[in-house]
Amino acid sequence: MTFTGKDFGRDFKWGVAAAAYQTEGGWQADGKGKSVWDVFTKVKGKIFENQNGDIACDFYARYTRDLELMARLGIKNFRFSLSWSRIIPNGTGRVNPMGIEFYNRVIDTCLKHGIEPWITLYHWDLPHELEKRGGWTNREIVNWFGDYVSLCARYFGDRVKNWMILNEPMVFTGAGYFLGVHAPGRKGLSSFLASIHHAALCQAEGGRIMRSVVNDARIGTTFSCSYIQPYSDSGADFLAAQRVDALLNRTFVEPLAGLGYPVKDLKLLQRLEPWVKDGDEGKLAFKMDFVGVQNYTREIVARSVITPLMWAKVIKPEKRNVETTVMNWEVYPESIYHMLRRFSKYSSFKEIIVSESGAAFPDKLADGRVHDDKRTEYLENHLKQVLKAKQEGMNVNGYFVWSFTDNFEWAEGYKPRFGLVSIDYATQERIVKDSGYWYSSFIRESNRL
Ligand code: FCB
């Protein structure tokens, strides 16, 4: 099947995505406060080769040229996040005018080029001062976050109409507060459960606040998700897969949709009770204009007696002899179709945006070009699945490639390269990869409609 962006229709939003900590650098520039990632990356042994995002892609200084390049490639939608501690250095209280100025310039430069800004309010870089007060485990975060959202809405809402409240709450609570492999590096069930409930309250409350200030905003929030399949057709593996699916794919979206936490399929979530106050159930729900679906792979799950709480284990791709990316994630394009199907069943969201999709492969620079055929193939195969979902009537209306440029991939450092544009970190030189040219011509077809 040959297909182009045109097949997705005139209103489909084609874009690229990025996040503040992964790209900006300027970690101490112009009055910015520290975030948990600024601190966590300095702890020896936490990040691949002890790398950090101090400089990253230097987007803070190079945004003009990066946005020019984006415009030249015909990309009309840019999803990026705001660094909370750049705007409010201590997380609450004093505002940093230089931080506001920076984002004003980024937004205005986007608009000048005809690029629509899509802002994520929180992409994991909590102000360090707030972490010292308990971070996501402290219920006060609902107020701290609310004030921050309201401030961003007032400063930027005149020009920015597309807002995403949180990025992948299951990842920042799971990796950051349960497994300790992401910032702030906390471990244990109670910090995990507390942070889940407070993040779930914030995603809805953030939506309400944004709506009250910018009433013509299109408001959404994003979710990580993986298509989960049982390892065998045994009942035990089926139930194990169901538990993992409930935890990874349903914990945050269902309370937002007014369905409450999926306790029936995952008893563990009953233990959220100590943090839940009277009246919270209603506060967890909010009618989003869209949900952002972020899917990279599938997982195969079997029952396990050695993993208490979940009684389930993931069968790693290397044991299954399947193709993987540099992240060691299986390449399985059908996964995105299944997840779109799943999310389209929640009647409380008007539409779905694929707010991240992409892959890291071992790119090679040769004669000033990066021939990254694997990435192009990955994107093409995933887009075919998105188109299939759309043609079957699912209301999916946008696709954002993760990512515009290579960037700092959290605990994996700079090793995985996800960009359509390659970065030489020694010189900060940008080179558009073949996949970038491919995406550009693929979406140009729809721009011409
Ligand atoms: C997602 C994150 C994003 C990026 C991609 C590869 O989970 O939202 O920041 O790291 O994975």
| DSSP line for 245-299 | HIIIIITTHHHHTTS---TTT-GGGGGGGGGPPTTHHHHT----SEEEEEEEEEE
Whether the pLDDT of residue 448 is over 70: the answer is no
Long-range contacts of 240-248 (CB under 8 A, 24+ apart): 240/301, 240/302, 240/303, 240/304, 240/310, 240/311, 240/312, 240/313, 241/301, 241/312, 243/268, 243/310, 243/311, 243/312, 244/299, 244/301, 244/310, 244/312, 244/314, 247/170, 247/310, 248/170, 248/224, 248/299
* DSSP at 115: P
In a domain, 163, yes or no: yes
> Is 310 a member of any domain?
no
pLDDT tens across 27-79, in order?
A: 999 999 999 999 999 999 999 999 999 999 999 999 999 999 999 999 999 99
Find out whether the beta carbon of 224 lies less than 6 Å from any atom of ligand 1: yes
pLDDT at 108: 98
Q: Is residue 316 part of a domain?
A: no
The length of the chain in residues reads 449
Confidence category of residue 446, pLDDT binned at 50, 70, 90: confident
What spacing in Å lies between the alpha carbon of 247 and ligand 1's midpoint? 18
Residue 127 banded pLDDT, cuts 50, 70, 90: very high
Question: Per residue in 213-255, pLDDT tens?
Answer: 999 999 999 999 999 999 999 999 999 999 999 999 999 999 9
Ligand 1 pocket member 360 (CB < 6 A): no
Q: Is there a contact between 334 and 264 (Cβ–Cβ < 8 Å)?
A: no
Q: Enter the pTM of the model.
A: 0.98
Indicate the residue type of 378: Y
Residue 271 maps to a domain: yes
Question: With 70 as the cut, is the pLDDT of residue 1 above it?
Answer: no
pLDDT of the residue at 350: 87
Distance 248 CA to ligand 1 centre (A): 15
**Residue 377 Cα to ligand 1 middle (Å):** 20
Is 167 touching ligand 1 by the criterion CB < 6 Å?
yes
Question: Does residue 406 lie within any of the structural domains?
Answer: yes
The structural domain count of the chain equals: 1
Annotated catalytic residue 168: yes
Q: What is the mean pLDDT of the chain?
A: 97
With a 6 A CB cut-off, is 17 part of the ligand 1 pocket? Answer: no
Residue 315 lies in a domain: no
User: How large is the average pLDDT for residues 386-392?
Assistant: 98
Considering the chain, what percentage of its residues have pLDDT values greater than 70?
A: 99
Is it the case that residue 146 has pLDDT exceeding 90? Answer: yes
Residue pair 59/23 in contact (Cβ under 8 Å)? The answer is yes
Range of the domain at 144: 5-225+244-301+325-446
Residue 449 has pLDDT above 60, yes or no: no
Q: b/e string for 217-236 if b means 16 or more Cβ within 10 A? A: bbbbbbbbbbbbbbbeeeeb
> Is 356 a residue of the active site?
yes
CATH label of the domain that carries residue 136: 3.20.20.80
Q: Which conformational region is residue 313 in: left (phi greater than 0), alpha (psi within -120 to 50 degrees), or beta?
A: beta
Task: Mean pLDDT check: name the lowest of 17-21, 183-187, 442-446.
Answer: 442-446
Does the CB atom of residue 409 touch ligand 1 within 6 A?
yes
Contact 228, 248 (CB under 8 A): yes
pLDDT tier, 2 (very low <50, low <70, confident <90, very high otherwise) = confident
Residues 266, 251: Cα–Cα separation, whole Å: 9
- What CA–CA distance (Å, rounded) separates 378 from 315? 22
Using alpha carbons, select from 25, 57, 16, 41 the residue that is nearest to residue 406: 57
Mean pLDDT value across residues 382-389? 98
Q: What pLDDT was estimated at residue 304?
A: 97
Q: Is residue 108 part of a domain?
A: yes
- Percent residues over pLDDT 90 in the chain: 97
C-alpha distances (whole Å) from 194 to each of 141, 258, 273, 276 are 11, 20, 10, 9
Q: Strands 351-357, 396-402: parallel, antiparallel or unpaired by DSSP?
A: parallel
DSSP character at residue 6: G
Confidence class of residue 445 from pLDDT cuts 50, 70 and 90?
Answer: confident
Question: Is residue 231 in some structural domain?
Answer: no
pLDDT tens per residue across span 170-183: 999 999 999 999 99
171 Cβ below 6 A of ligand 1: yes
pLDDT-derived band at 430 (thresholds 50, 70, 90) equals very high
Question: Can you tell me which atom of ligand 1 is nearest the CA of 416?
Answer: 6
- Determine if the peptide bond prior to 184 is cis (ω within 30°): yes
The CA distance from 250 to 261, in Å, is 8
Specify which residues 366 forms β-bridges with. Answer: 369
Q: Which of 254, 351, 356, 409 is catalytic?
A: 356
The confidence score (pLDDT) of residue 228 equals: 98
Gap from CA of 13 to ligand 1 centroid (Å): 20
Q: For residues 348-372, give the mean pLDDT.
A: 95
What's residue 266's pLDDT?
97
pLDDT higher than threshold 80 for residue 418: yes
